[in-house]
Structure 1
């Protein structure tokens, strides 16, 4: 894995991770682990050592699967230069999360990371192709299960908003509603709910802005630009948030 480009910018140990857990995990509503070894894996993640977080998480067995899946997805989405490797990592994560859900069906993270990985994989192969292969229904079902188990999961609200936006963008509002249950008003409500739950999220603003462009068909949407500007101004708390903030700044620079 290529390293996080700003190693040393964030220096968390287990104590700091525990102290700032609520803010660091406002997006995924992940419960704080009581095991110091799992906290250490999360410290690797927040510091940007994604490979260490993945490997140490997997070494910890079931208790470390969630941090491993999050590290793998964040690395694949933001840092992996090879498209084939990106897609392979998403498929590996989706399968790992699927297996986790069979063992821990009440664990919202198992459903969320399955949906996230399949969603990013779908974007990589084209959303239209993914819908034809039935991935859309799997993604939506997994996200809805995430929210049934954990209604405060802000990132799942973002992802479900993106589902509605992507489907409508690719097949139109009529087929999107009739075939996939995708609706513009529901998608926008999901983005707004995510920002209520996690108001400091640059990622939620990035995805909301992209969703607005898809749903409104206006690449110069003033509201989308405002969301990008807000995301670009947020002070990141960890490595993943730094990647989100920098991506927002890059969007504004285009």
Structure 2
């Protein structure tokens, strides 16, 4: 069950990578693409099509860290990122958030990890208000944390407005940030699903047509994202119910057929396959 002791952002723990002495759960798939620092840079544009993060300089230790991340070595990647100050925070936050979302089996640890990412990213945003990558991972962790404690409860605590504002700022700063478009689209759909069309529009400024517009733009920017395709499929069902089951199924089928470029995409493809078999 989710924790009930949510604290304001300023009080969230900024502790190291893990909240437990136990090692992180390892990726369960043997067929994940493997990278080293050299091959990473060759494939960087495809691997980072969702957010256009500039690559590390050749020979920089963060290249090794990103190679670990894309190969599914999330714990080692997060630790390396944290050892490289502000420059490594994006890697640390991405590795921690993706691991927590997909692989951490203990709900209390998952929520603690999301709180760590929120706190680290918020501190970075305070120092660098226009850092769109810090803003994005703050929003991502807020979204997953909100789902963990229930979206309705998170909205009541004001987390939704923080998430929405951060994603809108990312898109303003970096209009081609595909992942931010997808995340903001999913926020519109999920709020409508939880509170209804009228309350959603009047209280939170969300609209079904805006969700679709954001999804379409996000997939235009990054059409090979299995995670984005699944988010769109889920959103169509939240917004329209079984009337859009065929369209949602087609999106899941497209996601399941993608050749994953890294560990995170491999996890998404597996989720798409599982969704189709339900």
Normalization by structure 1: what TM-score?
0.97
User: Does 1:5 pair with 2:25?
Assistant: no
Q: Find out whether 1:197 has 2:227 as its counterpart.
A: no
Instruction: Provide the residue aligned with 1:149 in structure 2.
Output: 173
**Structure 1 residue matching 2:176: 3-state secondary structure:** coil
State how many pairs are aligned: 254
Equivalent residues of 1:7, 1:47 under 8 A apart: no
Q: Which residue of 2 is the match for residue 224 of structure 1?
A: 248
SS at match of 2:271: helix
Distance 1:219 1:238 in 2: 33
Please say if residues 7 and 48 of structure 1, whose CA atoms lie closer than 8 Å, have aligned partners that are also in contact: no
**Distance of aligned partners of 1:67 and 1:7 in 2 relative to their CA distance in 1, 3 Å threshold:** farther
Cα deviation digits, residues 102-137 of structure 1 (max 9, x gap): 122221110000000000000111100000000010
Residue 234 in 1 paired to residue 261 in 2? no
Whether the aligned pair in 2 keeps the contact of 1:111 and 1:142 (CA below 8 Å) is yes
CA shift for structure 1 position 9? 3.1
Structure 1 residue 6: Cα displacement: 2.2
Cα offset for 1:88?
0.8
Would the aligned equivalents of 2:136 and 2:166 in 1 still touch at CA under 8 Å? Answer: yes
Taking only aligned residues, the RMSD between alpha carbons, in angstroms, comes to 1.1
Question: Is the 8 Å Cα contact of residues 32 and 266 (structure 2) preserved in structure 1?
Answer: no
- In 2, the alpha carbon distance for the partners of 1:206 and 1:123 equals 16
Q: Which residue, out of 70, 88, 93, partners 2:117?
A: 93
* Residue 84 of structure 2: aligned partner: 60
Unaligned runs of 5+ in 1: none
Matched, 1:164 2:188: yes
Contact 2:236 2:244 in 1 (8 A): no
**Helix, strand or coil for the counterpart of 2:242?**
coil
| Matching residue of 2:126 | 102
2:203 maps to 1:185: no
Distance (Å, rounded) in 2 between the aligned partners of 1:220 and 1:180: 24
2:227 paired with 1:209: no
Following the alignment from structure 2 to structure 1, what is the Cα–Cα distance between the partners of residues 242 and 194?
Answer: 15
Deviation at 1:140, TM superposition (A): 0.2
Rounded to whole Å, the distance in 2 between the matches of 1:42 and 1:67 is 7
CA distance in 2: counterparts of 1:220 and 1:167, whole angstroms: 18
Residue 220 of structure 1, CA deviation: 6.3
